[in-house]
Amino acid sequence: MLRSHTCGELRITHVDQTVRLCGWVQKIRDKGHMLWIDLRDRYGVTQLIFEEGFVDAGLLALARSLGREFVLKTEGKVVERVAKNDKMPTGDVEIRVTSVEILNPAKLPPFLIEDDTDGGDDLRMKYRYLDLRRNVVRKNLELRHRMAQQTRAYLDGQGFIEVETPVLIKSTPEGARDFVVPSRMNPGEFYALPQSPQTFKQLLMVSGFDRYFQIVKCFRDEDLRADRQPEFTQIDCEMSFITQEDILQMFEGLVRHLFRQVKGIELGPVPRMTYADAMRQYGNDKPDTRFEMRFVALKDLTASADRPVREGIASPSLREGGDTSAGAGEVDLVGGKGFGVFDEASLVVGICAKGCADYTRKQVDELTDFVRRPQIGAKGLVYVRCNPDGTLKSSVDKFYSEADLRKWAAAMGAQPGDLLLILAGEAGKTRKALSELRLEMGERLGLRDKNVYATLWVLDFPLLEYGEAEQRWFAMHHPFTSPKPEDISLLELDPGAVRANAYDIVINGVEVGGGSIRIYRRDLQETMFSVLGFTPEEAQRQFGFLMEAFEFGAPPHGGIAFGFDRLCSLFGGADSIRDFIAFPKNNSGRDVMIDTPSEISGAQLEELKISVRK
Amino acid sequence: MLRSHTCGELRITHVDQTVRLCGWVQKIRDKGHMLWIDLRDRYGVTQLIFEEGFVDAGLLALARSLGREFVLKTEGKVVERVAKNDKMPTGDVEIRVTSVEILNPAKLPPFLIEDDTDGGDDLRMKYRYLDLRRNVVRKNLELRHRMAQQTRAYLDGQGFIEVETPVLIKSTPEGARDFVVPSRMNPGEFYALPQSPQTFKQLLMVSGFDRYFQIVKCFRDEDLRADRQPEFTQIDCEMSFITQEDILQMFEGLVRHLFRQVKGIELGPVPRMTYADAMRQYGNDKPDTRFEMRFVALKDLTASADRPVREGIASPSLREGGDTSAGAGEVDLVGGKGFGVFDEASLVVGICAKGCADYTRKQVDELTDFVRRPQIGAKGLVYVRCNPDGTLKSSVDKFYSEADLRKWAAAMGAQPGDLLLILAGEAGKTRKALSELRLEMGERLGLRDKNVYATLWVLDFPLLEYGEAEQRWFAMHHPFTSPKPEDISLLELDPGAVRANAYDIVINGVEVGGGSIRIYRRDLQETMFSVLGFTPEEAQRQFGFLMEAFEFGAPPHGGIAFGFDRLCSLFGGADSIRDFIAFPKNNSGRDVMIDTPSEISGAQLEELKISVRK
């Protein structure tokens, strides 16, 4: 090694030793007769000292000529500092330098290599290799490394085998859009990059691998939102001869292991909630349970929230089927008082914001503006102040007496000092809007602390959701998910009522993993494809290999996949996954550092037998 | 779990316990009043017994109706066997079954699920999920799993950080052919799949990551030979502030760790040899050193073997430059005796096959045929028998006296009973042919035992090799490899003479890893690209980001990559990597199980703005 020690390891016990350090110039302080350099590497920072009289003039001049981010190899003696710095682990010592070699000079970086940098997003992405020098970014990737190693340690310890599944696979129209790869050896044909190793892990179960996992890159050619990447990483797992309960136990075990080993946090058992309850109580299938503030319906004509439609498409007609979910009786505490908005609504639902009765008019107006934003889409917000003196004051006093309001307050468990916030309208949209308002209130009330972790299993997802635009059913999880055995008979009669053996694990309102018990018999898989609108021929062409595999002795099996980028960002207390990916792409799918995607040569296109359309 | 135990864990201590087992029917033996089923899972095989009188008739009839590979859930009592089987870990016990549930029936598999199967390659690939049920194949993947976990354990323990580098990167014409991925969001532009994460790991060094590794999929769109795959896996590593010696120590440490942990073998230090010596002594840059049988030149006018040309292209003219390698004096023990073949040859070189003097005429003819095969290409083979009585007999007695032959025998260290095998011709081709003959002789003499492991570092590779067809120099390793500092001055004067700080690790004649110390300064990297025939503009367009990164303070760094598939197959004692890949592709790059590559829809092509050329 060019160094004898790293820049993070020298302590008072090293005093008088001659050491060799390598690293980057973090900072130079020049007091004329004395000059200090902070030398940085991955492991820390060590102070070098150059003092007139102690070092020869040439060396001092050399030190003076250095710039930020120069790469040095230095030799010197460890001495005790006069002014110690207890903020850095090496702060008791400094190095009296006897020689400096410039291993590489550096141009002035386009932004400061500091925790608080002056670089904007675009500049930091273009010079990502400089951004990665910043401690805050490097620590994210160190965290990711520890998460990966601990994930493997846990699963290996539980008898899981890590198996690499292929990256060059087959394109299937079901699911998101595939990235494809033209095959030169098979002109006119294409591979696809996997959106997940789903079918392969199921085949490994058919092979008897019993317990499989993989930390694996997956790919989706979707229009990118702020926090999506065209390539992302999953912890992908599958088990045989299990019930859903075995999966829940095994993988909350993984989450507990990670919290313990990586964060030093002991989690209790992960609470559970059905999808129907999550939708009713939080208007969200991934509720943030760091705080309560559950929904209370003042009127509910639908009494069932577990018939989802594909995101963004409301379909009230679908909710007319019989309610198969338990526990939701019809209520109406708001009708017949002449308030048309409530009278016409199929759902009137509210939350109780503890201690917010003193919200000013301006604050309430802010909340009203919040729910009226187009992406939330409520028409208005009704509030009831539960004043400290016990009186109640609402924005609908014209229609409702204090006695009426008192019933609402009682139903919502309000105390004097609380503020009730109520939305009304079509059930699905209203729940969604109130969920956003609940999260906003949680934020305002400081109930969403990044250092507090609330976990939750959401169970019993619907098997199918209806696509109005496509006029057909879609698998809510994927086409290989098993319906609950007791609901199989409904599969062709009332597809929307069928619940799946599917589960998500949610932490702080973020879905970090999801999975299901799989179909493992050909006949049921064929039925499923038929419900999804596949002709038998299409099903056979796309998934014939899997259905045939089921005929050669497939065991009952199920699994889960965790979004690894997301899990890391959650552990790192960050909102964006991008800072937990070494070389992310921007929202146009570009890597601006290496400038890709880019044009390829005519010769390459010719070899691949493809043309670019103008 | 549907089971209480696996099929591999029941022992005599479990007798009298009621257990639940799940697994596949391996075999049924029906003796009429008694019937046994071997039930198999990943963990082993357990015998089930159904005895008339002990089980009800219905259960016996059910058992009788089962077929191979049916998936069962059974319950029963563990009993001691009358006839124990000490060949299986569960052989002391069997299960008196009280219930059987058929979890899934199975069609008759197209080949036997046994270690010795009757299935041909094509059939086993089509039904790979059944092939993976065979113990021998599954054990390969279990070995691979252990190799991966132990690799990570070692590198993590040495302070390496595993960082995922992107899969969607940029196409560069240097190196092998890229797989490309059309970008829908950037029409007319393409990503490429990485042939290795080379530039990214170098950027991570520029970022100060100091020690990086990754077990990572790489891709090359090459015409496939028997043992190449379009996607393959590397253990990819890089370190900063190191010398070549540090890399050699660190990674022979990895190899030793793997042998110790996975095979229980203590390896000594890894011997070292220069490329020049390897070529001279073995005619091969990846010699199989499980056995000696080194080359001895009887005539060598070239005296330098370290100026390689691109594979398959002989270029004698290139060898006319001055010999910069040490230790090879010119010899000639064969000239001037009227044997034109030797007189005209630039190299006459042989090996001594110990104890083979008694080879029959037929055996020697076989060897002659072997070296004359087109892929080896020698014109003929000269032999000298060193008879047990001390006399010498050669195939060139017409030209050479026994005294002449005695000089050869002495030079080659031959003893009575040995057989000398000699080839002559142009140096490069002749060494290559003799290397093949040496390996063949090693095989015949049983010197290539799969359970013996001989490791070797090959050092000081040439930096460049000349492409006759392209009329330019190519990087032998890659364009980022550093020349030896003492050879840099030759870079533009005599490129072929420049040695690189490049190294390969070879085990049993297989190159399992290779790497180099990298260039880390812009000026040297520019010179290198210029030697390789890049215009400054081309170099900037393709690798500008890397050269610019070097200007912002790049540390000295170097690394290595191991071929993980190959390493696993070597540890597994197999010749082919295919059996160590869960879902390999065939020689046409096809996965015949899922039938890919395949056509994609017109809508997909339209979205991607590409067309298939007819």
Domains of chain B are 12-104 (2.40.50.140), 138-271+457-580 (3.30.930.10), 291-448 (3.30.1360.30)
> Is the Cβ pair A132, B204 closer than 8 Å?
yes
| Residue in the block written with tokens 């076989």 | B366
Task: Give B566 to chain A, closest Cα distance, Å.
Answer: 15
Nearest to A69 among B70, B185, B552 (CB): B552
Q: What are the tokens at A249?
A: 């136990």
Nearest to A520 among B104, B168, B185 (CB): B104
Partners of residue B161 in chain A, C-beta under 8 Å: 141-142, 145
Tens-digit pLDDT profile for residues A272-306: 999 999 999 999 999 999 999 999 999 998 765 44
> Is the Cβ pair A223, B185 closer than 8 Å?
yes
Judge if the upstream peptide bond of residue A597 is cis by omega within 30 degrees of 0. yes
Q: How far is CA B15 from CA B22, B39, B43, in A?
A: 18, 18, 19
Smallest CA-to-CA distance from B576 within B220, B130, B121 is with B121
- pLDDT for position B301: 86
- pLDDT for position B308: 52
What average pLDDT does the segment B297-313 reach?
Answer: 63
Q: Which residues, in sequence order, are bridge partners of residue A507?
A: A455, A510
Q: Which residues, in sequence order, are bridge partners of residue B347?
A: B300, B425
What average pLDDT does the segment B364-379 reach?
Answer: 95
Q: How far is CA B202 from CA A611, B196, B244, in A?
A: 34, 11, 16
Of B174, B177, B190, which to mutate for an interface test with A (greatest number of A Cβ within 10 Å)? B190
The single-letter DSSP state of residue B263 is I
> Is the Cβ pair B611, A608 closer than 8 Å?
no
Please, are residues B117 and B137 in contact by the beta-carbon 8 Å criterion?
Answer: no
Task: Give A84 to chain B, closest Cα distance, Å.
Answer: 26
Distance from C-alpha of B473 to C-alpha of A6, rounded to nearest angstrom: 40
What average pLDDT does the segment B304-328 reach?
Answer: 40
What does DSSP say about strands A211-219 and A296-300: parallel, antiparallel, or unpaired? unpaired
Partners of residue A168 in chain B, C-beta under 8 Å: 179, 219, 230-231, 585, 589, 591, 596-597
Neighbours of B327 (CB within 10 A): 9
Residues of chain A numbered 504-563 and touching chain B (CB < 8 Å): 520-521, 545, 549-556
Distance from C-alpha of B112 to C-alpha of B101, rounded to nearest angstrom: 24
Q: Please report which confidence band the pLDDT of residue A223 belongs to, taking 50, 70 and 90 as the band edges.
A: confident
Please, are residues B165 and B213 in contact by the beta-carbon 8 Å criterion?
Answer: no
Q: Is B486 an 8 Å CB contact of chain A?
A: no
Tens-digit pLDDT profile for residues A70-119: 999 999 999 999 999 999 999 999 999 999 999 999 999 999 999 999 98
- pLDDT for position B575: 84
Partners of residue B588 in chain A, C-beta under 8 Å: 185-186
Distance from C-alpha of A532 to C-alpha of A535, rounded to nearest angstrom: 9
Please, are residues B559 and B236 in contact by the beta-carbon 8 Å criterion?
Answer: yes
Distance from C-alpha of A15 to C-alpha of A20, rounded to nearest angstrom: 13
Smallest CA-to-CA distance from B238 within B355, B160, B332, B320 is with B160
Of B583, B599, B607, which to mutate for an interface test with A (greatest number of A Cβ within 10 Å)? B583
| % of chain B beyond a pLDDT of 90 | 89
Asked if residue B568 has pLDDT above 90, the reply is yes
Tens-digit pLDDT profile for residues B65-115: 999 999 999 999 999 999 999 999 999 999 999 999 999 999 999 999 999
Distance from C-alpha of B419 to C-alpha of B293, rounded to nearest angstrom: 11
Average pLDDT, chain A: 93
- pLDDT for position B330: 72
Query: Under DSSP, is residue A113 helix (H, G, I), strand (E, B) or coil?
Result: coil
Distance from C-alpha of A218 to C-alpha of A223, rounded to nearest angstrom: 15
Asked if residue A320 has pLDDT above 60, the reply is no
Partners of residue A601 in chain B, C-beta under 8 Å: 173
Tell me which amino acid residue A331 is.
V
Neighbours of B469 (CB within 10 A): 8
Average pLDDT, chain B: 93
Q: Is A176 an 8 Å CB contact of chain B?
A: no
Q: Please report which confidence band the pLDDT of residue A329 belongs to, taking 50, 70 and 90 as the band edges.
A: low
Q: Is A228 an 8 Å CB contact of chain B?
A: no
Q: Is B176 an 8 Å CB contact of chain A?
A: no
For A292-329, the three-class secondary structure string (H helix, E strand, C coil) is CCCCEEEEECCCCCCCCECCCCCCHHHHHCCCCCCCCC
Residue B486: phi, psi to the nearest 5? -70, -15
What average pLDDT does the segment B358-370 reach?
Answer: 96
Of B25, B102, B185, B193, which to mutate for an interface test with A (greatest number of A Cβ within 10 Å)? B185
Tens-digit pLDDT profile for residues B12-24: 999 999 999 999 9
Q: Please report which confidence band the pLDDT of residue B299 belongs to, taking 50, 70 and 90 as the band edges.
A: very high
Tens-digit pLDDT profile for residues B188-236: 999 999 999 999 999 999 999 999 999 999 999 988 776 789 999 999 9
Distance from C-alpha of A563 to C-alpha of A47, rounded to nearest angstrom: 41
Partners of residue A149 in chain B, C-beta under 8 Å: 152, 156, 162
Quick one: CA torsion of A534, A536, A538, A541, rounded to 10 degrees? 140
Nearest to A167 among B41, B109, B231 (CB): B231
| Residue in the block written with tokens 């003799």 | B434
Distance from C-alpha of B453 to C-alpha of B551, rounded to nearest angstrom: 44
Q: Please report which confidence band the pLDDT of residue A451 belongs to, taking 50, 70 and 90 as the band edges.
A: very high
Asked if residue B340 has pLDDT above 90, the reply is yes
The single-letter DSSP state of residue B259 is I
Q: Is B610 an 8 Å CB contact of chain A?
A: yes
- pLDDT for position B227: 77
Nearest CA in chain B to A248: B1
Please, are residues A442 and A450 in contact by the beta-carbon 8 Å criterion?
Answer: no
Q: Please report which confidence band the pLDDT of residue A227 belongs to, taking 50, 70 and 90 as the band edges.
A: confident
What average pLDDT does the segment B5-17 reach?
Answer: 98
What average pLDDT does the segment A170-190 reach?
Answer: 91
- pLDDT for position A314: 35
Task: Give B505 to chain A, closest Cα distance, Å.
Answer: 20
Comparing A439-448, A466-475, B298-307, B605-614, which segment has the lowest mean pLDDT?
Answer: B298-307
Task: Give A179 to chain B, closest Cα distance, Å.
Answer: 7
The single-letter DSSP state of residue A17 is -
Nearest to A230 among B156, B168, B585 (CB): B168
Nearest CA in chain B to A132: B207
The distance of Cα A471 from the centroid of its chain, to the nearest Å, equals 30
The distance of Cα A353 from the centroid of its chain, to the nearest Å, equals 27
> Is the Cβ pair A41, B210 closer than 8 Å?
yes
Distance from C-alpha of B584 to C-alpha of B228, rounded to nearest angstrom: 10
Tens-digit pLDDT profile for residues B138-159: 999 999 999 999 999 999 999 9
What average pLDDT does the segment A301-314 reach?
Answer: 52
What does DSSP say about strands B93-104 and B34-41: parallel, antiparallel, or unpaired? unpaired
Task: Give B584 to chain A, closest Cα distance, Å.
Answer: 8
Asked if residue B312 has pLDDT above 70, the reply is no
Q: Is A501 an 8 Å CB contact of chain B?
A: no
Nearest CA in chain B to A4: B241
Quick one: CA torsion of A529, A533, A534, A535, rounded to 10 degrees? 120
Smallest CA-to-CA distance from B49 within B20, B72, B78, B92 is with B78
Tens-digit pLDDT profile for residues B394-448: 999 999 999 999 999 999 999 999 999 999 999 999 999 999 999 999 999 999 9
> Is the Cβ pair B167, A163 closer than 8 Å?
no
The single-letter DSSP state of residue A207 is T
Q: Is A344 an 8 Å CB contact of chain B?
A: no
Could you tell me which residues come within 8 angstroms of residue A76 by beta carbon, excluding any fewer than 6 positions away?
A18, A19, A21, A48, A95, A96, A97, A98, A99
Nearest to A152 among B41, B152, B207 (CB): B152
Asked if residue B517 has pLDDT above 70, the reply is yes
What average pLDDT does the segment A214-227 reach?
Answer: 88
Smallest CA-to-CA distance from B131 within B70, B89, B69 is with B69
- pLDDT for position A301: 86
Smallest CA-to-CA distance from B608 within B187, B229, B302, B254 is with B187
Of B124, B139, B161, which to mutate for an interface test with A (greatest number of A Cβ within 10 Å)? B161
Tell me which amino acid residue A159 is.
G
Q: Is B225 an 8 Å CB contact of chain A?
A: no
> Is the Cβ pair A231, B41 closer than 8 Å?
no
Tens-digit pLDDT profile for residues A125-160: 999 999 999 999 999 999 999 999 999 999 999 999
Asked if residue B310 has pLDDT above 90, the reply is no
Q: Is A243 an 8 Å CB contact of chain B?
A: yes
Please, are residues B478 and B485 in contact by the beta-carbon 8 Å criterion?
Answer: no
Nearest to B553 among A42, A43, A71 (CB): A71
- pLDDT for position A307: 52
Distance from C-alpha of A429 to C-alpha of A205, rounded to nearest angstrom: 40
- pLDDT for position B453: 96
The distance of Cα B76 from the centroid of its chain, to the nearest Å, equals 47
Counted across chains A and B, CB pairs separated by less than 8 A come out at 354
Task: Give B297 to chain A, closest Cα distance, Å.
Answer: 40
| % of chain A beyond a pLDDT of 90 | 89
Q: Please report which confidence band the pLDDT of residue B492 belongs to, taking 50, 70 and 90 as the band edges.
A: confident
Q: Is A326 an 8 Å CB contact of chain B?
A: no
- pLDDT for position B323: 35
